[in-house]
Amino acid sequence: AQKVTQAQTEISVVEKEDVTLDCVYETRDTTYYLFWYKQPPSGELVFLIRRNSFDEQNEISGRYSWNFQKSTSSFNFTITASQVVDSAVYFCALRINTGGFKTIFGAGTRLFVKA
């Protein structure tokens, strides 16, 4: 079965704290893609990062970093020195080929960053 689990429903931090959003996925496919999207209070969905199953290199983009570990089927997302503007719902997603590529989203983690 293909599945994405974001166990943290809500996280609340104070500005400047670091925060890690967990994502665990399940698939039997050897080729797959992982994504993170951000949905701010305004409602739009914004693409943040993509990883393919053959590339386990971690990535850093400004205050954002991602840790992909195939051994634990995890693709965690860390925000360092969080800011109020980081408040949003963050979705982890898995794309697999099931006779047509399908993207399966996790339930999302709502992050509140307080000033």
Partner 1 sequence: DTAVSQTPKYLVTQMGNDKSIKCEQNLGHDTMYWYKQDSKKFLKIMFSYNNKELIINETVPNRFSPKSPDKAHLNLHINSLELGDSAVYFCASSQGQGVQPQHFGDGTRLSIL
Burial group, residue 79, by CB count within 10 angstroms (0-12, 13-18, 19+): buried
Cα 42 to Cα 56: distance, rounded to the nearest angstrom: 32
Structure tokens at 85: 């503007």
Cα 62 to Cα 90: distance, rounded to the nearest angstrom: 17
Query: With binding defined as CB under 8 A, does residue 47 bind partner 1?
Result: yes
Task: List the beta bridge partners of residue 72.
Answer: none
Which residue, 19 or 95, has its beta carbon nearer to partner 1? 95
Query: From the CB of 45, what's the least distance to partner 1, in Å?
Result: 4
Candidate ranges 17-25, 61-69, 70-78, 87-95; the one touching partner 1 (CB under 8 A):
87-95
Query: From the CB of 49, what's the least distance to partner 1, in Å?
Result: 9
Query: With binding defined as CB under 8 A, does residue 10 bind partner 1?
Result: no
Tell me how long the chain is.
115
Query: With binding defined as CB under 8 A, does residue 20 bind partner 1?
Result: no
Applying CB under 8 A, the residues found at the interface with partner 1 are 33, 35, 37, 39, 43-47, 50, 52, 89, 91, 95, 97, 100-105, 107-108, 110
